[in-house]
Amino acid sequence: MHDLLANLALGFSVAATPWNLVFCLIGALVGTLIGVLPGIGSVATIAMLLPITFGLPPVGALIMLAGIYYGAQYGGSTTSILVNIPGEATSVVTTLDGFQMAKQGRAGPALSIAAIGSFFAGCVATVLVAALGAPLTSIALLFGPAEYFSLMALGLIFAVVLAKGSLIKALAMILAGLLMSMVGSDLETGVGRMTFDIPELSDGIGFVTVAMGVFGFAEIIRNLEGSAEDRSIVQAKVTGLMPTRKDLKDSAGAIGRGTIIGSILGILPGGGAVIASFAAYTFEKRFAKHPERFGNGAIEGVAAPESANNAAAQTAFIPLLTLGIPPNAVMALMVGAMTIHGIVPGPQVMTKQPELFWGMIASMWLGNMMLVIINLPLVGLWVSLLRVPYRLLYPAILVFCYIGIYSINNAPADVIIAAVFGIIGYWLVKHEFEPAPLILGFVLGPLMEENLRRAMLIARGDVTVFVTRPISGTLLGIAVLLLVLAGLPMLRKRREEVFVE
């Protein structure tokens, strides 16, 4: 306990420096803005902003990117409640009851409860990240190459099982990501692999170009399909922000349960925050005394998913910071940001760079506080922002993207590759392939290959090393079991029902 307090004191001393506070505020503001504007998710935004972080100090850059991620969870609720448009995938469920409350003239209490639930969940999840950081890191130090390989394999299988849509498509995306990660020079021999004698591919495909193409550009193309009417906004009037005592009493239990569900699901690889918000809503509806109230303006229907998605957004940092394994696409981008700054994600971060580890955790508390303070007074501004025509928004976004991609290596080829991945990303979305597993496979590919080779070298080519080592064997066993279970007809049907709901 004493160590934890000492570490947190170090974290706050890092996070509370003027520049880091500024980065945290920028992250929270940009995140909220991104959450509010439909069609630009946190993944696309972080992908777009990765080039900017080159010139920033590592701690400041990561604090800002983290702020964007959990800020977007907040912002998404504002538009879900006011105009029935989820800015983020995690806020889809909030539209069901939040917009109904707004139509009944109770938008204020809905927004307040969303902010209170998010703040509470964020604080609890941050305590969890701080408390679990040290023990998990000490466990991670027991891992050898074989264990790391098996852990990553398990992570990818989790991402397959928890991805929406068909299992085969999710598996195909993982394999495509792993294949793409192998393009470039061989790790040990330096021989070109899958470069097709194209000099630009000899260094491999850039992470930022893939992420920006598959998420950023594809999202813009998809949004251009809709008619102007789809994106036109109804002006909602917000009066009286304070929830009544009954509102607080009704939502207290939902906030608590949502926080617990979100904290657990956030740690699992896959779409943590999205699944958490759906699971929390389904749980509340199933165990409510009057389930018929849900969908007609039940305040629990706002409190539970908003608490869950914020808790999940923060506990997603646990596997990233302690094991170096990203549980979702945004955390995969954070790995990219760490790599840009020469930081190797994993258990070494806590021992070698404690100011980075604890500074980020402390910044989450400060960020959550900033979000409550900036969100409620700015509701009117966010709604008016939604009225900017999309035809003016998207060219500006595209220009910034291209400048960002070009500035990384000053290579025109990167811009062309990103555009190609934009078309690929659009095709994937149209054919119901989820792109997140692709990015996870792409990020974990080089790490998996490195650990696979290292384990094989140590074991002198003996493949059984992955099964005979207890931890590695257990992890692989769980992965195989998960795949088998997910493939069973009964469970597959249930899984599809959950995602349809």
Q: What angle do CA 334, 340, 343 make, to 5 degrees?
A: 75
Give the pLDDT score at 233: 45
Using one digit for the tens of pLDDT, what is the confidence trace for 59-117?
999 999 888 888 887 877 887 787 776 666 677 788 888 888 887 878 888 888 888 89
The position carrying tokens 């920006």 is 212
**Rounded mean pLDDT, 452-469:** 89
What letter would DSSP give residue 52? G
Q: Does the model's pTM come out above 0.75?
A: no
**Rounded mean pLDDT, 211-216:** 78
How far, in Å, are 172, 442, 453 from residue 159 at the CA level? 12, 13, 23
Question: Distance between CA 453 and CA 369 in Å, rounded?
Answer: 45
Please return the burial class of 17, using the count of CB atoms within 10 Å of its CB with bins 0-12, 13-18 and 19+: middle
**Rounded mean pLDDT, 383-398:** 72
Question: Distance between CA 40 and CA 222 in Å, rounded?
Answer: 11
Q: Is 193 helix (H, G, I), strand (E, B) or coil?
A: strand
Least confident of 34-38, 65-69, 114-118, 278-282: 34-38
Using one digit for the tens of pLDDT, what is the confidence trace for 112-164?
888 889 889 988 988 888 888 778 777 777 788 898 888 888 878 877 776 66
- Assign residue 239 a region: left if phi > 0, alpha if psi is -120 to 50, beta otherwise? beta
**Rounded mean pLDDT, 345-361:** 84
Give the pLDDT score at 498: 58
Alpha helices in 37-144 (DSSP H): 42-49, 58-83, 94-103, 107-140
Contact 429, 435 (CB under 8 A): yes
With a pLDDT cut of 70, the percent of the chain lying above it is 90
pLDDT higher than threshold 50 for residue 402: yes
Using one digit for the tens of pLDDT, what is the confidence trace for 40-57?
667 777 877 787 787 889
Residues whose CB falls within 8 Å of the CB of residue 303, separated by 6 or more in sequence, listed in order: 113, 114, 117, 250, 251, 254, 255, 258
Q: Is 184 helix (H, G, I), strand (E, B) or coil?
A: strand
Band of the pLDDT at 304, cuts 50, 70, 90?
very high
Band of the pLDDT at 423, cuts 50, 70, 90?
very high
Mean predicted lDDT score pLDDT of the chain: 81
Band of the pLDDT at 337, cuts 50, 70, 90?
confident
Q: Sketch the domain layout of the chain as residue ranges.
A: 2-500
Question: Distance between CA 211 and CA 308 in Å, rounded?
Answer: 26
Band of the pLDDT at 234, cuts 50, 70, 90?
very low
Contact 273, 262 (CB under 8 A): yes
Amino acid identity, residue 412? P
With a pLDDT cut of 90, the percent of the chain lying above it is 11
Helical pair 107-140 and 354-375, crossing angle rounded to 10 deg: 170
Annotate 198-229 with DSSP letters as a single string. -GGGTT---HHHHHIIIIIIHHHHHHHHS-HH
**Number of Cα atoms under 13 Å in the Cβ half of residue 274:** 23
pLDDT higher than threshold 70 for residue 238: no
Give the pLDDT score at 495: 62
